[in-house]
Amino acid sequence: MPRAAVLRLFPPPPPVRRLPIPSPPLADGWLAEACAWVGAGLDADEELGALLDAQIEFSLRIGDALGFFEQLRDSDGESMSAVFVAGDLAARIRAVNLAFNGGLRPNLALSAGGPDTSDGELLEHF
């Protein structure tokens, strides 16, 4: 994607006290903010493009996104990733990438960009 910026977020690590070190979960607030961020300016009935584990493509209503994000987070340590995209790939997009690595360092990435995105818009996104 030309002219893009990505912000990848990791929860703070837990204190090292015993092995194995449990992985900290993504906070509820992070998922709600990611949902609001990717759907900014869109109606709850509009759809996000979604890709689960780089294999399964589907659409998801923005109004259903937070519940789906929470289901992914609560999937009992399964390793999976999901990407949710709003916008037009030929112009401007916003995307959220959630990664849950089998109990290892989960993370969240917010991406924005596209060929019609100006430098100012990239700075405003973050």
> Distance between CA atoms of 111 and 64, rounded to whole angstroms?
20
Q: Using one digit for the tens of pLDDT, what is the confidence trace for 88-107?
A: 888 999 999 998 876 567 88
> Whole domain around residue 41: which residue ranges?
4-11+25-125
Number of domains, the chain: 1
In a domain, 20, yes or no: no
Q: Which residue has the higher pLDDT, 26 or 98?
A: 98
In a domain, 19, yes or no: no
Whole-model pTM: value is: 0.83
Q: What is the pLDDT of residue 84?
A: 93
In a domain, 45, yes or no: yes
pLDDT of 111 > 90? The answer is yes
66 near 32, Cβ under 8 Å? yes
Q: What is the pLDDT of residue 21?
A: 61
In a domain, 105, yes or no: yes
In a domain, 108, yes or no: yes
Q: What is the pLDDT of residue 119?
A: 87
Classify residue 48 by its DSSP letter.
E
Name 57's bridge partners.
Answer: 51
Q: What is the pLDDT of residue 6?
A: 92
Q: Which residues contact 29 (CB under 8 A, 6 or more apart)?
A: none
In a domain, 119, yes or no: yes
In a domain, 17, yes or no: no
In a domain, 98, yes or no: yes
Q: What integer best gives the mean pLDDT of the chain? A: 84
